[in-house]
Amino acid sequence: MFKRVVVKELVSLKNSTSFRIGGKARYLVIANDEEDLRGALELASGVGLPWMVLGGGTNLLLAEGILNYVFIRLGRGFVGVNAVEGGRLEVGAGTPVERLVRLKPCEFSIFFGLPGTVGGGLKGNAGVRIGNRYVGLLDACERVKVLRPDGAVLWIDAKDLPKGYRYSGIDGIILSAVFDPGRLQEFWGVIPQRPVVEPFPNAGCVFKNPSPDLSAGRLIEELGFKGVRRGDAMVSRLHANFVLNVGNARFDDTMGLIEEIRSRAKQERGIDLQLEIKVVR
């Protein structure tokens, strides 16, 4: 039934993430069109496993061993940018955000340095804080094309999405999106200060900021975690909300360090830190 889908088994995903931690995919499907995606969803329901889309892997912490999922990677069929009416751009979900920025550097300058793909970025409404305002990819977006888990494809108007700080409410596989550079006009030419450029593999900020007034980085620094290490997992000395893989970090050490930070934040400051990265096990 899903003849056209190329399914790989037991493929290592370690190097598919920016953290360089993780085991093997039970199944991996590279999808180039909607039919491939439906095939992948059918495969998942046929083998009784959950499915998950892999974007650029820049926000993921994967466990070791065999990961019992049907992972879906968007192939070349989902990478590219097309001009549509009124200066808008339809961008494939597998396209790196960086490519969008390079194409319209002034209009999308606010997203300069944002790693990952358009699909992953829209799923988590990735973005930056400018003053007291959070500006996410969805703010630049007019509509998003999604393949729902039941196989239906629909366009969702961005204004109908309950978007927020690192949250989009999008359910299903993002296929493409129409961006309207005009929506960001007040930020044209604004290049945000990037947190840090670390030489070691990492997945960006581990925790969401507890509030606009208190960054997770400041809290973790105040708890004395900068430079604290478990195995090869270490809290960055530059930005305490980054955990680094300084060698060959194991999932257990990395997760242990993250849990330790979380429990100290709760015990000492009464704050429930929420993960920004997605942990897959």
Ligand X SMILES: Cc1cc2nc3c(=O)[nH]c(=O)nc-3n(C[C@H](O)[C@H](O)[C@H](O)COP(=O)(O)OP(=O)(O)OC[C@H]3O[C@@H](n4cnc5c(N)ncnc54)[C@H](O)[C@@H]3O)c2cc1C
Taking alpha carbons only, the member of 35, 71, 46 closest to residue 147 is 35
Q: Which is nearer to ligand X, 264 or 278 (CB)?
A: 278
- 49 counts as binding ligand X under rule CB under 6 A: no
What is the amino acid identity at position 18? S
Binding of residue 127 to ligand X (CB under 6 A): yes
- Closer CB to ligand X, residue 195 or residue 256? 195
Residue 204 binds ligand X, judged by CB under 6 A: yes
**Cα–Cα distance, 123 to 132 (Å, whole number):** 22
Question: Is 60 one of the binding residues for ligand X (CB under 6 A)?
Answer: yes
What string marks each residue from 239 to 278 as x (binds ligand X by CB under 6 A) or -? ---------------------------------------x
52 binding ligand X? (CB under 6 A): yes
Instruction: Kindly state the number of chain residues that form the binding site for ligand X, as judged by CB under 6 A.
Output: 30
**Candidates 38-46, 48-56, 156-164, 213-221; binding stretch for ligand X (CB under 6 A):** 48-56
Nearest CB to ligand X, comparing residues 53 and 220: 53
Q: DSSP assignment of 5-62, as one string?
A: --EEEEEE-GGGSTT----EEEEEEEE-SHHHHHHHHHHHHHHT--EEEE-SSTTEEE
Of the pair 21, 74, the CB lying nearest ligand X is at 74
Window contacting ligand X (CB under 6 A); options: 24-32, 110-118, 218-226, 258-266: 110-118
Q: Which two tokens stand for residue 49?
A: 């496993």
Q: Report which of 264, 267, 262 is spatially closest to residue 279, judged by C-alpha positions.
A: 262
Mark the segment that binds ligand X (CB under 6 A) among 6-14, 25-33, 41-49, 197-205: 197-205
Using DSSP's 3-state secondary structure scheme, residue 235 falls into strand
Determine the 3-state secondary structure of 105 from DSSP. Answer: coil
- Binding of ligand X at residue 215 (CB under 6 A)? no
In whole angstroms, what is the distance from residue 15 CA to residue 186 CA? 38
Window contacting ligand X (CB under 6 A); options: 7-15, 196-204, 232-240, 264-272 = 196-204
* 51-54, strands of its sheet edge to edge: 7-12, 24-31, 66-74, 51-54
Contact flag: residue 25 with ligand X (CB under 6 A): no
Record the tokens describing residue 1, joined without a space.
Answer: 């039934």
Cα→Cα distances 78→17, 32, 95, 131, 197, Å: 19, 6, 7, 34, 29
Q: Is there binding between residue 202 and ligand X (CB under 6 A)?
A: yes
The yes or no reply on residue 114 touching ligand X (CB under 6 A) is: yes
Q: Does 55 bind ligand X (CB under 6 A)?
A: yes
Closest CB 188 distance from ligand X, rounded Å: 19
Looking at residue 248, what DSSP letter applies?
A: S
Is 58 a binder of ligand X (CB under 6 A)? yes
Q: Is 203 in the site for ligand X (CB under 6 A)?
A: yes
Taking the C-alpha atoms of residue 50 and residue 39, their distance in angstroms, rounded to an integer, is 14
Q: Which residues bind ligand X (CB under 6 A)?
A: 18, 52-60, 74, 93, 114-117, 119-121, 123-124, 126-128, 173-174, 202-204, 278
